[in-house]
Amino acid sequence: GQQLNQSPQSMFIQEGEDVSMNCTSSSIFNTWLWYKQEPGEGPVLLIALYKAGELTSNGRLTAQFGITRKDSFLNISASIPSDVGIYFCAGRPQGGSEKLVFGKGTKLTVNP
Amino acid sequence: NAGVTQTPKFRVLKTGQSMTLLCAQDMNHEYMYWYRQDPGMGLRLIHYSVGEGTTAKGEVPDGYNVSRLKKQNFLLGLESAAPSQTSVYFCASTKTGFSPLHFGNGTRLTVT
């Protein structure tokens, strides 16, 4: 089946640093979503992207839908301790599937 | 507005026992999903439903059954639990097949 390759698997950064993570696929996706999961909770939607080339911000977070429709990235600027968590990318494959495909997540640790 | 509610939050089973996990959503969503989350594996789709009275298999359906008798509820059943089913289970719902998923806070299941 379709897979998403998410990298890096984990990141250890200092408070104030910028963060970048990405997802790639060998096939085309119509939708890209970025979720954050904190310990003991379910994933929460951060940003949704629906159009190739789309660049969308949510506070200090910025995500882009790649022009080839096979990738997406998420940037976090000026990280703070509450950014800690696991970030997941998810995509909806071309063909209108009602099933999302998830990446394996990027675990972010922010040192104060 | 509760969103997506999962019960129970925690459960310990012995091998061979059965149980049902309940997911309830109050957003009038058509689509509902059951995922399992294991370390390093991301979120894997077990079963899903595109409307009341319908169910379909996901990526890892073996050992699980589901029912969607009412639009707001989606039940996940384990008929004979196995240690390999130790995991965190997440329910999610969405209004259409093209909208982002809303997740519950998970059920942590341990099978000994």
User: Locate tokens 């506070």: which residue?
Assistant: A59
Place of tokens 């061979």: B16
Q: Which residues 32-61 of A have a C-beta within 8 angstroms of B?
A: 33, 35, 40-45, 48
**Average pLDDT in the B84-111 region?**
94
- What is the C-alpha separation between B34 and A107, in angstroms, rounded? 23
The predicted pLDDT at position B11 comes to: 96
Q: Is B2 left (phi over 0), alpha (psi -120 to 50) or beta?
A: alpha
Nearest-CA distance from A77 to chain B in Å?
A: 24
Do B102 and B3 form a contact (C-beta atoms < 8 A)? yes
Contact yes or no for A48/B100 (Cβ under 8 A): yes
Q: Which pLDDT value is given to residue B40?
A: 80
Average pLDDT, chain B: 95
Q: How far is A61 from chain B (nearest CA, A)?
A: 18
- Convert the pLDDT of each residue in B25-54 to its tens digit: 999 999 999 999 998 888 999 999 999 999
For chain A, the first-to-last Cα distance in angstroms comes to 40
pLDDT at A3 over 90: no
Q: What's the pLDDT tens digit per position in B46-77?
A: 999 999 999 999 999 999 999 999 999 999 99
Nearest by CB to A88, from B4, B43, B97: name it. B43
Q: Is the pLDDT of residue B81 over 80?
A: yes
**Chain B CA closest to residue A36:** B103
Task: With beta carbons less than 8 A apart as the criterion, state whether B66 and B42 touch.
Answer: no
SS (H, E, C) B57-97: ECCCCCCCEEECCCCCEEEEEECCCCHHHCEEEEEEEECCC
Q: Are B55 and B66 in contact (CB under 8 A)?
A: yes
B43, B101, B102: which to substitute to probe chain A, counting the most A Cβ within 10 Å? B43
Tens-digit pLDDT profile for residues A27-85:
999 999 999 999 989 999 999 999 999 999 999 999 999 999 999 999 999 999 999 99
pLDDT computed for residue A1 by the predictor: 58
Asked if the model's pLDDT at residue A2 lies above 80, the reply is no
pLDDT at A94: 85
